[in-house]
Amino acid sequence: MDKNLLAKLKDRRVVVVSGGWSSEREISLLSGRNVYEALRRQGVEAVSFDLASPDKLSALLKEKPDLVFITLHGKPGEDGSIQGFCELAGIAYTGSKIEASAIGLDKWVTKWVFARNDIPTPRFIPVHAGEDYIKPAKKAASEFGFPLVVKPRYEGSSVGVKIIHEQLALMEEGRKIHLQFGDILFEEFIPGMIGTAAILGDKALPLLELVPKTQEFYDYQAKYTRGATSFICPARIPVEQAQLTQKLALRAFQAIGARHFGRVDFMLDENNQPYFLEVNTIPGLTDLSDLPAEAREAGISYDDLIVRIAVMGLGI
């Protein structure tokens, strides 16, 4: 632990905000508990706060935080909402600001930003809520072939994501996901290695290779069930290709305006060409999460990681 960094948190009251009301609430609570315990182990004055509903925001202000450490996954944590609240209240907070948070949660806009910045990403077709999904579904099947991916525009932790292998399933699953989530996208499937690049400050950490043991892809169950996925860090790819992927991941992170920390998910095809999927501006901080695993490979303990993020949030 860098004692100089830790000293910057002396006499600072850090409120760790978790929970929320999205589909990722339970994972958020786990992340929040881990962060709270890490700060307390280092002697930091930390408070755990469950933002279970919007009417709890006034209670958050009563905690008089010097820093809000945001561990809310999905809405209202990653869409810019809590960031906007903190900005209006004049409270320092960890993670990306309003605009970058909103972009990061929006898969359509993220991919448009990637394309504008020459960051390779799978082709996709957006479908608006209320729009007839059949025509775009058929177009996706024609242009991308099978398998292809259907996913919600805004959800995290792979919630609602399906890999589709044939026409009938495309119609059925497309309808279900469209009805449940509104805005969706059909996306080209890139077969190959599942990977993620954690970002800390202005550096990309060692790449993590993810190998689900029973699931077809790195879905919600594979992410949060202990033993369901093999985590290989550093990823088993040539050094030159790893360095290029890290460079592109950092560019992707910076292209949406993200700051402090995050995670950029990608696929590597059979030629080790990376295709970037999304930027997670508040990645999980649980025992099974990717970012802490990549930090450990870089020689950064969990407690050190949390302290570094907190200090970045204070801007000192």
* Residues assigned a catalytic role: 24, 157, 224, 263, 265, 278, 280, 284
| Nearest Cα to Cα of residue 281 among 48, 14, 21, 97 | 97
Largest interatomic CA distance in the chain: 60
User: What gap in Å lies between CA 133 and CA 135, rounded to an integer?
Assistant: 6
Which residue is listed with tokens 């997670």? 280
Q: How far is CA 89 from CA 2, 23, 86, 96, 214, in A?
A: 30, 27, 5, 16, 46
Output the CA angle 196-202-206, nearest 5 degrees.
35
Helix (H, G, I), strand (E, B) or coil at 309: helix
Amino acid, res. 202? D
Rounded to whole angstroms, how far apart are CA atoms 120 and 112? 11
Those residues with Cβ within 8 angstroms of residue 259's Cβ, 6 or more apart along the chain or in another chain: 95, 96, 97, 100, 312
CA dihedral 104, 108, 113, 117 (to 10 degrees): 120
